[in-house]
Structure 1
Amino acid sequence: MKKVYYLILIFGLCFYDVNSQNLVDTSYTIQSTFAKDRKKFPFIQIAKVYKDKRVVEEQEIVYKEIDSRGLHLDAFYKKSKKLNPAVVLVHGGGWKSGNKSQMESLGNAMATKGYSCFAVEYRLSPEAQYPAAVLDIKEAIQFIRMNALKYNVDGTKIAVLGCSSGGQLAALIGTTNSTSTSSVQAIIDMDGILAFKHPESQEGKVASLWLGGDYESIPEIWKEASALTHVDQNTPPILFINSDMPRFHAGRTDMIEILNKYNIYNEVKTIPNAPHSFWFFDPWFATTVDYSVQFLNRIFNK
């Protein structure tokens, strides 16, 4: 019993995935977040997945194999002769929990607006530490480009959108556009930090689990994993959609200063009086989709 108890303390609610042979942290789910957030916001509802008959949904597409372990993505797109911009959707969960199914509502909603969307599975910290998740998502982008025609994708117009830790990953991927096959042309960061060590940042144990140690032990890794370190004249346009909690946009002001120096387009949209995971819930879900689509329409001239 004591061993089980300690596992719960360390990993939260977990189960063993017989397919990947890895312990999976299930502490961050839409339902558990709803149960927690409705105590402060009793009026919220989980945003429903609205199915549009014109949108094709394909699940569990293998984009990468590691030994016998497959990594998957879910695709949401309209079948047509027109090539649409793509949006790579990166879920949150503190780099240790969450899964791609949490992006289904956003994927469906944005697909109806003319975007080919892809919710990506990536390795989390119980399975593999930084930079595994970054490499996985970049390879998913490469897969999407290689299969662009199949999913009605314009390979010159790919955006990455992430929520919370997924937002951190999206910003990092977008600011490290070193390879053309995995490059992105726009970033949407929803409440993802831009710097792990920053006056506004409160990152500690969860970040340490993913990065492989605390700041005092490996300061160079904490710096390397921060998008703020890499922002330069090659950074694509970026939209920040934030709650009004400062800890979740640590480094944003500093990044905007650099973006403005290079005349790189950027926007900040604030969702006031909302929980951190506002994208899961009504009354904010539609606003989140609208902000995202309006930004992408501008960047991609739609």
Structure 2
Amino acid sequence: MPTHVLPLSISGFALLLMTACATTKQVPTPQTDIPYVDDGGIRQQGDLYLPRGNGPFPVAVLMHGGGWSNRDRSDMTAVSKQLAESGIAAFNINYRLAPKHHYPAQLNDVHAALRYLQDNAEHYRLDTSRCITLGYSAGAHLALLAAEIPDPEGPKISVVVAGGAPVDFSLYPKSPLITPFIGGSPQEFPEAWKEASPINHVTPEHPPVFLYHARLDILVQHKNARMMKAALENADVPVQLDTAWFYGHLLQGAHQGPAIRKAIDFVKKQWQYG
């Protein structure tokens, strides 16, 4: 055996061990299956990831993708941990799904989650004056709308993080995903299709937005992000777009970590703390 193999193996093992210990130390244990709303006998739940320390912690509400009709909050587990490790509490929620439940049921659930955090801020050691919404795909759409159509009884959203977000429903008049979400075609429900398009709610009062989008996305084309960025810039709203050049929609959704690291930096810059 070459003499250099053993020292390298030992040092490599030690490095892996130290990395594993450090990771284990920082990964928070979530409080799971927290019922945040009971709407007509339909109970929605979320998992709360709290950072280490005493708080109060800024907090994010996370929404999963799935075309508003499938998937669940397990898709956002890794992102939740990433936020908590950075000092931001993460409430990772399920919400009602289409086609059984039409818009705005899903948005109402996000609002309910925000109210729950506000009502329980002292118990969980949360600072809801620094509250963000974050989602991917359909969840990103809800993250934007929750900030644009706010609940007057809930906390104000200070920053939005939106990945792979469909922002203009008029681009997809025959969408097999949007139609059951709204409950009908744009001819049947023109106002709902317009209201549910985030790009139609951009004003100078819009909270800052971090967008991330796959350049090769053929499900929700990259032009959605470019259009949203341009609209926000025209309104003088702080915005940043991170493009994953060699990913499609699903691959970006499965590998959100690098974009989320940049999003955390953007969020903290808006809050002006390190």
TM-score under structure 2 length normalisation: 0.84
Shift of 1:146: 1.2
Please give the per-residue CA displacement for 1:110-154, whole angstroms capped at 9, x wherever unaligned.
Answer: 101101001111100133111000001011001011111232321
The reply on whether 1:294 has 2:262 as its aligned counterpart is no
Aligned 1:265-280 pairs, distance under 5 A: 265-280=238-253
Q: Which residue of 2 aligns with 1:64?
A: 37
Q: Which residue of 1 aligns with 2:109?
A: 136
The reply on whether 1:220 has 2:191 as its aligned counterpart is yes
Q: Which amino acid aligns with 1:191?
A: G
User: 1:52 touches 1:112 (CA, 8 Å); kept in 2?
Assistant: no
> Aligned equivalents of 1:128 and 1:90: distance in 2?
16
Shift of 1:221: 1.1
Q: Which runs of 5+ in 1 are unaligned?
A: 1-49
> Aligned equivalents of 1:254 and 1:279: distance in 2?
19
Aligned 1:15-26 pairs, distance under 5 A: none
User: 1:138 touches 1:182 (CA, 8 Å); kept in 2?
Assistant: no
Q: Which residue of 1 aligns with 2:70?
A: 97
> Aligned equivalents of 1:242 and 1:251: distance in 2?
9
> Aligned equivalents of 1:298 and 1:278: distance in 2?
28
Aligned alpha-carbon RMSD (Å): 2.0
1:156 corresponds to which of 107, 129, 133: 129
TM-score under structure 1 length normalisation: 0.76
> Aligned equivalents of 1:77 and 1:187: distance in 2?
19
Please give the per-residue CA displacement for 1:169-220, whole angstroms capped at 9, x wherever unaligned.
Answer: 111112123525143111111001111003xx47612110010101122221
Shift of 1:101: 1.5
The reply on whether 1:122 has 2:95 as its aligned counterpart is yes
Shift of 1:261: 3.1
> Aligned equivalents of 2:39 and 2:221: distance in 1?
32
Shift of 1:55: 1.7
Q: Which has the larger radius of gyration?
A: 2
Please give the per-residue CA displacement for 1:199-245, whole angstroms capped at 9, x wherever unaligned.
Answer: xx476121100101011222211101111111112210001100013
Q: Which residue of 1 aligns with 2:170?
A: 197
Q: Which runs of 5+ in 2 are unaligned?
A: 1-22
Alpha carbons of structure 1 residues 122 and 51: separation in structure 2 relative to 1, 3 Å = farther
2:161 corresponds to which of 160, 181, 188: 188
Shift of 1:278: 3.2
User: 2:111 touches 2:151 (CA, 8 Å); kept in 1?
Assistant: no
Shift of 1:255: 3.2
2:206 corresponds to which of 235, 253, 270: 235
Identity %: 22
Shift of 1:64: 0.6
Count of residue correspondences: 249
Q: Match of 2:221, SS?
A: helix
Q: Which structure shows the bigger proportion of residues in helix conformation?
A: 2
**Which one is further off, 139-148 or 65-74?**
65-74
Please give the per-residue CA displacement for 1:1-24, whole angstroms capped at 9, x wherever unaligned.
Answer: xxxxxxxxxxxxxxxxxxxxxxxx
User: 2:128 touches 2:155 (CA, 8 Å); kept in 1?
Assistant: no
User: 1:100 touches 1:120 (CA, 8 Å); kept in 2?
Assistant: yes
Q: Match of 1:150, SS?
A: helix
Q: Which amino acid aligns with 1:114?
A: G
> Aligned equivalents of 2:112 and 2:155: distance in 1?
7
Aligned 1:20-99 pairs, distance under 5 A: 52-53=25-26, 55-99=28-72
Q: Which amino acid aligns with 1:204?
A: S
Please give the per-residue CA displacement for 1:251-300, whole angstroms capped at 9, x wherever unaligned.
Answer: 4444333322332100000011112133553xx44312212211111112
Alpha carbons of structure 1 residues 68 and 221: separation in structure 2 relative to 1, 3 Å = closer
**Which one is further off, 239-248 or 160-169?**
239-248
User: 1:116 touches 1:152 (CA, 8 Å); kept in 2?
Assistant: no
> Aligned equivalents of 1:182 and 1:136: distance in 2?
14
